Structure 1
Amino acid sequence: MWKKGLFFSSLALLLAGCGAENSDTDSTDVATSGESGEQEEIVIKVASHLPPMTDIVEIAGEVIAEPYKVQLVEVSDNIQYNEALLNDEVDANFAQHKPFMEKFNEERDGNLVALQTIYNPIVGFYSPVYDSIEELEDGAEVAIPSDVSNEARALSILDHFEIITLDPEIDNHVATVDDIIENPKNLTFTHIDLLNLTGAYEDGVELVFNYPTYIDSIGLKTEDAVLLEDDDEYTFAIQLVAREDNQDSPEIQALLEAFTSQEVYDYLDELSQIGHLEPAFELGE
């Protein structure tokens, strides 16, 4: 059995180098078996940073086929897991949705590739002031993520519920506050790092976008949200990510099979019962 982590934790930076080079396994580490005749163990490094993502990496490690072994590389923010993958310090990461990865590729001339949606976190807006969105007052402050892809996600929710109107000529996946053409409540928008949005809620900001992973740390659940996202297309589902140069390797294909296993699905299905997320793949894909 795997050990389930909490939905929040203080995570230390544990990035490590990729070890000795091996031309047959790219950036993976191999533990040789000497003269025993046993099959060599191939280590696949996967960067991640928070439960339930880290839990899923560990579950995949429990079920991955031999001779592969999964090594979880925990990082402490939303930058390091992509930098580590880009720099060949890890073989894959599991911490982001595709629009976030695409923005990273654009800014860093990256070659990261989204392989498979795994789960869709149910995000929304929370308020320490209002019990329902109908109570939203004129001039209220709204805390939204400072990164472009999650800013667009937050604004799309407000647009969907007609709190604001975004320019229809702009793709909602890249929309910013500059693309708001109607703001009848005269809302003011404050950009805050994704990891600090829970603090904005505690500071009394009237309306705060957040993920269930983060808001859970102060005892809130998705049923406490005044607005919840409705995304049937799983545009912002958390994905397993690799690089263009290793995405088709036997190691990554074995990792992908483990991430879409019955064991991972059962864990996600259990979490879906409390409303945090929903599985974003079908067994047998």
Structure 2
Amino acid sequence: MARKRNIWFAAVIVATGILAGCGSQNGNGEAAAPQASTAASEAPKEVTIKVGASAVPHAEILEFIKPKLKEEGVNLEVVTLDDDGQLNPALQEKQIDANYFQHVPYLDSVKGEKGYDFVVTAKVHVEPIGFYSEKLKSKDEIPHGAKIGIPNNPSNEYRALVLLQQQGFIKLKDGITTYEATPKDIVDNPHNLEFVEADAATLPRSLPDLDGAIINTNLVLEAKIDPKSALFREDANSPYANVVVVRKGDENREEIKKLDEALTSPEVKKFIEDKYGVAVVPAF
């Protein structure tokens, strides 16, 4: 009986081994591939965000941070349009998730007019607006009755006039608090300057017909004008920092927070300083 019992146990052990072996093979009799680990199957899913931007320097700065965001699971798609003025409507219509092209005074001027419910999530850089000329070499050469080009959108027109006031060429009336002004708000013009109000994007190519113009730095860079050639410009204390803007409620999205962190990193600060010099100043 003991001998029969031992034989029976041996048969059970052999059968168990055969079944276990079958369990480790695929239908072709080959060893089955090991299953993916739980950690690998739970890898974070990549999220895509679309950010509208001016071509220079905004889109270039965004391109610089793409690899870093990719490592953090964020696929950044940079969207540029021929008309920067369409980037706020694009955000409103959810064609993009954020935009990065404007400063707060400009945003405030269009929010009230268009009813945008937008919020600012990060201040990135200042582009000091400057006075450029193809005819003059210094501000002391600006003649009496000079023809000066200035942007015709409200916030940048005010900005240009304030710069001329700081340089002693004009005086604006007191009490302007809305970041909006036109030549009608000038109360003293001792140099009898003539102002040509024009779309900001046209000012670089209008320089041959003017004694000079006050031009936004992004337009100067796009026109391949040396920003160091400005006869005078804003200082780094300008309130016109370029910002990241999103629809209200989206500021808490994790991918937007990662975007802001990347744009205000030490690496971006160095990139801006090395690439743009005096033309673009970090605001963080």
Aligned residues of 2:236 and 2:281 also touching (Cα < 8 A): no
Which structure: greater helix fraction? 2
Find out whether 1:123 has 2:142 as its counterpart. Answer: no
Find out whether 1:224 has 2:229 as its counterpart. Answer: yes
The one of 71, 83, 95 equivalent to 2:89 is 83
CA displacement 1:28-48 (0-9 Å, x = unmatched): xxxxxxx95542211111011
Find out whether 1:263 has 2:267 as its counterpart. Answer: yes
Q: Provide the aligned length of Structure 1 versus Structure 2.
A: 244
Structure 1: which amino acid aligns with 2:141? E
User: Where does 1:182-197 land on structure 2 (aligned, <5 Å)?
Assistant: 182-197=188-203
Aligned residues of 2:131 and 2:213 also touching (Cα < 8 A): yes
Shift of 1:223: 2.6
Find out whether 1:54 has 2:59 as its counterpart. Answer: yes
Question: Partners of 1:218 and 1:246 in 2: how far apart?
Answer: 34
The one of 66, 75, 90 equivalent to 1:69 is 75
Question: Partners of 2:216 and 2:85 in 1: how far apart?
Answer: 17
Inter-CA distance 37–46: structure 2 relative to 1 (3 Å threshold): same
Structure 1: which amino acid aligns with 2:245? V
Query: What stretches of structure 1 of length at least 5 have no aligned partner?
Result: 1-34
Q: Under a length normalisation based on structure 1, what TM-score does the superposition of the two structures give?
A: 0.80
Structure 1: which amino acid aligns with 2:171? T
Question: Partners of 2:52 and 2:275 in 1: how far apart?
Answer: 22
The range that moved more, 164-173 or 92-101, is: 164-173
Provide the residue aligned with 1:213 in structure 2: 218
CA displacement 1:164-190 (0-9 Å, x = unmatched): 001122137222212100011111111
The range that moved more, 219-228 or 70-79, is: 219-228
Q: Under a length normalisation based on structure 2, what TM-score does the superposition of the two structures give?
A: 0.80
Aligned residues of 1:153 and 1:172 also touching (Cα < 8 A): no
Query: What stretches of structure 2 of length at least 5 have no aligned partner?
Result: 1-39
The one of 162, 171, 175 equivalent to 1:169 is 175
Shift of 1:263: 2.4
Inter-CA distance 172–246: structure 2 relative to 1 (3 Å threshold): closer
Question: Partners of 2:117 and 2:219 in 1: how far apart?
Answer: 29
CA displacement 1:226-278 (0-9 Å, x = unmatched): 2211241x411111111212112222112111111232122112135x32111
How big is the alpha-carbon RMSD for the aligned residues of Structure 1 and Structure 2?
1.8
Inter-CA distance 46–216: structure 2 relative to 1 (3 Å threshold): closer
Identity within the alignment, %: 30
Aligned residues of 1:129 and 1:204 also touching (Cα < 8 A): no
Provide the residue aligned with 2:280 in structure 1: 277
Moved over 4 A (4+): none
Provide the residue aligned with 2:98 in structure 1: 92
Aligned residues of 1:165 and 1:183 also touching (Cα < 8 A): yes
Q: Equivalent residue of 2:209, what SS?
A: coil
Flag the structure with larger Rg: 2
Provide the residue aligned with 2:28 in structure 1: none
The one of 146, 150, 164 equivalent to 1:140 is 146
Question: Partners of 2:106 and 2:49 in 1: how far apart?
Answer: 23
Shift of 1:60: 2.5
